[in-house]
Structure 1
Amino acid sequence: MSTRPLVILPAPQLRLASAPIARVDDGTRKLAEDMLETMYAAPGIGLAAVQVGEMTRLITIDVSHDEAAKEPRVFVNPEILWKSEDLSVYEEGCLSIPDYYEEVERPARIRVRYTNLAGEPEELEADGLLATCLQHEIDHLDGVLFIDHISKLKRDRVTKKFVKAAKEKARI
């Protein structure tokens, strides 16, 4: 396992849709291992493959909040089948938009279909933080960022900040 560099806003690939994984193989499992290591090192609770430069439909999540009892989850080709009408609000952040947090309203419960690392189809009904994290990471696979769920004024402000930082970094 190894950590991978994170893709940071305003990188254009963050706005692109990721390709489905045709079949789960050793390369998929190695990417998932690297993503989990990168996610834990960051530290974060979720990571999409696009955030480490891989344009493939793979996400990793661990919302356990317990270093001693980690609960890593890997979702290949996840898709949301159902969303509740009930909404919940969580303060979200993103490893690709470091040190920026904002409250986002999303469906409180969802049902997701995905493939596990053994190549088997599964479904999961989630609520709370897991439902929010799944929606956040699946959005990444479609080129959507959590800042797309906030006001245009706030989104423009944070985007401008990261564009400026990228230009300054490029000059160095």
Structure 2
Amino acid sequence: MALAWHRSCRDIRMTKGQGIEMSEMDKLAAQMKQQRNRKTIADDASMDQEKKFTHWIESVGKLFDDIQVWLDPLAQSDLAQFERGMMDVEEKLPQNRVAKYEAPFLAMAINGKAARIVTVGLCFTDSDGAVDFMAREKQYRITRHIGSDVQWMIRNKSEHLGKDVVLNQDSLADAIRHYL
């Protein structure tokens, strides 16, 4: 009988007011569940971000493969040499976060003059990543754009309103013509 009375008092306590009054253990369970859900969401976001950076690094590597193929006629004539390496990148992300990762670079000697293509970063408002092609006389920004395919564009960095053109063997030849 005392047990039945205790249950009915508890039921009355739980149903008084507009909502259901929670016990301290119920509150603790709700807080723990909320904390676990936040951690799961943060872990998922972190994994998504990790995948984006992994894809970005792979995409830059593929770009460097293409560039080396396009420059192969120069390399065959001993007018171009290449050396790949990895560099540390520290990139500012939204919400005052920072991503630190290793990304590829491509060092080159073209007609005896040094050039280097370095990874700038993934997070840009006008593209899906960028690398800089730096030489003593000229510098170019190469940007990645993802649609149905990955498209790379190149423009002269000194021309603020410079026109982006599709990066291919011909546009790369135009970019390095000053090595003559």
Quick check: TM above 0.5?
no
Q: Tell which has more relative contact order, 1 or 2 (C-alpha 8 A, sep 6+).
A: 1
Q: Which structure has the greater CA radius of gyration?
A: 2
Q: Which has the higher helix share?
A: 2
Question: Normalising by structure 1, what TM-score?
Answer: 0.24
Question: Normalising by structure 2, what TM-score?
Answer: 0.23
